[in-house]
Chain A
Amino acid sequence: MKQEVLSYFQWIDLTNFALLLFVFLFTGMIFWVWRRESNKVYQEASMLPLQEENKL
């Protein structure tokens, strides 16, 4: 049964491609998230829960 299902994925390189895709996506994301420029944005964002409401 396994073989028959696998015959569905006839392109053997599909798995290699998927592996590379995922690795690049992941490392790309790490680099993107750790960009220097975004320091300020994240700094601000992380303070959001701590802001107290302006009462009237």
Chain B
Amino acid sequence: MSTDQNTGALEEFSYDDSSVKLFLHATIIWGAVALLLGVVIALQLASWQFNFNLEWFTFGRLRPLHTNAAVFAFCGNAMFAGIYYSTQRLCKARLYNDFLSRLHFWGWQLIIVAAAISLPLGYSHGKEYAELEWPIDIGITIIWVVFAVNFFGTLYKRREKHIYVALWFYIATIVTVAVLHIVNSIEIPISLMKSYPVWAGAQDALIQWWYGHNAVAFFLTTPFLGLMYYFVPKAINRPVYSYRLSIIHFWSLVFIYIWAGPHHLLYTALPDWAQTLGMCFSVILWAPSWGGMINGLLTMRGAWDRVRSEPLLKFLATSITFYGMSTFEGPLMAIKSVNALAHYTDWVVGHVHSGTIGWNVMLVSGILYYIVPKIWKTELFSQKLANIHFWSTTIGLVLYILSMWTAGITQGLMWREINPSTGMLTYPNFVETVTKIIPMYWVRAFGGVLVLGGFILLLINLYKTIARAPKEQKEEILRAPALEKNSSKAKGHRGLEGLPAVFTVLTVLAVLVGSAIEILPSILSNKWIEKDARVTPYTPLELAGRDIYIREGCYVCHSQMIRTLPHEVLRYGPSSTAAEFVYDRPFQWGSKRTGPDIARVGGKYNHLWHYRHMMDPRVVTQGSIMPNYPWLFKKKADLGILSKKLAVLKSMGVPYSDEEIEKATELAKTQADVIIKELASDGVPTNMKNKQIIALIAYLQRLGTDIQQEIEEEE
């Protein structure tokens, strides 16, 4: 078709497939690593011994590593490989700049390695999927810009008039991820690997989940939909079912997705209107998602006989099906009354994995089986292995989802069960609801092993494929007519050349509407949160303890947000209010209760209880699955840096006096003395007083007390 719209002068060019190959290698290797980490942390929940009492190996630190590896290392590299492969072909142009392609590749791997080292060491923001500390955040920004320049440069150089729908999805990905990452990562450094966000409390929560949900939307969904729109037609050699539907799919998705973030915060201290808005848009989101799914599946119509025999197509068909299944489950779980049951439970974990394994891993596996033989100019080593991989992944995933549904719904029901004759909780002891679901954790871990095992087969299969590829891999010279630049139709063409720019602007607008309406009131209105005079900033020692809490990733198992539900008030005390968190940087509301909520744990136990609990939780709570934290009893707390921390917080509006800032270290020591004195009377040696455990106890004992004290006084 291009011939009739072009001058006809053929230009010679070639594709930069060597960069694509690098990203493909990275996808395969990081994919295996991410799944292996998943199996490890699944085992850690089934049996706490798998934490091995090793500081850098505990669940709280490995879980962020698993999510980062899965999202940014595996899906990231897969996305880049697929985007670079398809963009060159859709644009009939080589990637804009070879150096930028390499910089993009090596820069991204460096970021991943930095994450793989810093997360186990405990350098973390304590915000999910945004854990990486500020120097790495800056690295991500730079490399993302490199990617953007390289991508838009390729679009600019293109020899094809139309910008195919897949490219639209890529454009949306690039601009939106940039916006999300930058806004959510605005932070002020304390030291090389520590910073505090400028956002605090409920506002931080809102922005984090606006980011978090849209990381799912624009990192795990839109780029992969783009890949679907390219690779599914390619693999079955027929065009997409309805190009029109794909346009509707694109615009509705981009416009609606961005509003849905608050469904992570239903029944919390977030203002009601924001919760309801998030819920409504989440339910609406069902429509475009299914539009896309139907479009994908109908594209495969007429090729179903081949689906039975070709593993590649099995992966593609299954991935689209799981896209449909998880985009149905998501809106369902976003309905407030369903969410009341599902939130904080393993149901959410199951939902996430039906998306990430069912949609992302399946789709990427299919794409890998398509691209690798093609780009290395050979045949796939073994269809049979690919077939076993498919069944292993599918069975593993089904086990995963079923066990997490069972665990999540069981636990959710146990939490809310109230004995009608006494009006008390039927299961007041939290750990009862944990031990009940341990068998499901084993099933999940087994499912994970099957998924991992399948992926290892992919790895073997693809490296055998690559091994038998012809050694000489020369770049083919291709020819295509140039897009005419100075013809009589210049006006029309000018418009066309401007199209990617217009397009990008429209996409940004679509994304910004929802963002602005949800987030701006929290920034502009001082009435957004009702202040509470009883709430005061953390003392220096408590702050040190809080940073230990963040470092250990306690938030991956503990929430600090009592929802406005009767059974939660019965179990944990009065519902949390936004005013209680105004000094929380970052917020630590959490999203999963593997352990109980601890928003009001302060004063619930004495110091000695915490001391023994942190050393070995099973000493005080039979059947606990919380890890041991022996190193907190050996390492000294870093109190020297407290003045600096307080000063930075003050610069963001926390009312510390100059004296407090100056004497922060002494104040902390004085408070530690008080705690150790009580502990010493129970036989704890006084030389423990400068250890990290003391700071952590100070923090835990503070939680929720600001408001409790007043209530007691009133009584």
Partner-B contacts on A (CB < 8 A): 1-2, 4-8, 26, 29-30, 33-34, 41-51, 53-56
Contacts and interface: CB of A to CB of B under 8 A. Distances in A.
Contact of A49 (B1, B10, B90): B90
B99 interface: no
Most-contacted residue by chain B among A33, A46, A47 (CB, 10 A): A46
A5 B164 contact: no
14 contacts: A1-B272, A1-B529, A5-B528, A7-B527, A43-B243, A48-B164, A49-B89, A49-B90, A49-B229, A49-B233, A50-B234, A53-B89, A54-B10, A55-B478
Contacts of A51: 1
Contacts of B148: none
Contacts of B86: 49
A49 B230 CA distance: 6
B247 A33 contact: yes
Given A5-B527, A26-B252, A45 B244 contact: no
B87 to A, nearest CB: 11
Contacts of A42: 243-244
A1 B479 contact: no
Interface string B223-258: 000000110011001111001100110011000000
Nearest to B299: A46
B343 to A, nearest CB: 20
A14 B477 CA distance: 58
Given A1-B578, A5-B521, A43-B243, 9 more contacts: A1-B271, A2-B273, A7-B527, A26-B252, A49-B89, A49-B164, A50-B234, A54-B479, A54-B480
A6 B272 CA distance: 10
Contacts of B239: 46-47, 49-50
Contacts of A7: 527
Contacts of B272: 1-2
Q: How large is the interface on B (under 10, 10 to 19, 20 to 34, 35 or more residues)?
A: 35 or more
B478 A54 contact: yes
B160 A56 contact: no
Contacts of A55: 476-479
Most-contacted residue by chain B among A44, A45, A54, A55 (CB, 10 A): A45
Contacts of A29: 248, 251
A4 B90 CA distance: 52
B530 interface: yes
Main secondary structure of the interface of A (DSSP, over half): helix
Contact of A8 (B162, B230, B478, B525): B525
Interface of B: 1, 10, 12, 86, 89-90, 92, 160, 162, 164-166, 229-230, 233-234, 237-240, 243-244, 247-248, 251-252, 271-273, 476-480, 521, 525, 527-530, 578
B243 A30 contact: no
Nearest to A38: B244
A44 B530 contact: no
Which 9 pairs between the two chains have the least Cβ-Cβ distance?
Answer: A46-B239, A46-B243, A42-B243, A56-B477, A48-B164, A4-B527, A53-B478, A45-B162, A2-B272
B478 A5 contact: no
Nearest to A18: B517
Contacts of A47: 1, 239
A34 B246 CA distance: 12
B549 to A, nearest CB: 28
A34 B92 CA distance: 28
Nearest to B240: A46
Contact of A34 (B89, B237, B244, B521): B244
A16 B247 CA distance: 27
A5 B162 contact: no
A1 B269 CA distance: 10
Contact of B165 (A8, A26, A34, A45): A45
B3 to A, nearest CB: 10
Nearest to B481: A54
A5 B160 contact: no
A56 B478 contact: yes
A30 B530 CA distance: 43
Given A1-B530, A53-B89, A56-B478, A8 B243 contact: no
A8 to B, nearest CB: 6
Contacts of B529: 1
Nearest to B162: A45
A45 B243 contact: yes
A47 B210 CA distance: 36
A48 B162 contact: yes
Nearest to A47: B239
Contact of A50 (B237, B530, B578): B237
Contacts of A45: 162, 164-165, 243
Contacts of B525: 5, 8
A54 B244 CA distance: 28
A1 B229 CA distance: 45
A51 B247 CA distance: 21
B272 to A, nearest CB: 5
Most-contacted residue by chain B among A49, A50, A53, A56 (CB, 10 A): A49
A8 B165 CA distance: 39
Contact of A33 (B12, B234, B244): B244
Contacts of B90: 48-49
A32 to B, nearest CB: 9
Contacts of B271: 1-2, 5
A29 B162 CA distance: 19
A26 B479 CA distance: 41
A5 B519 CA distance: 12
Nearest to B522: A5
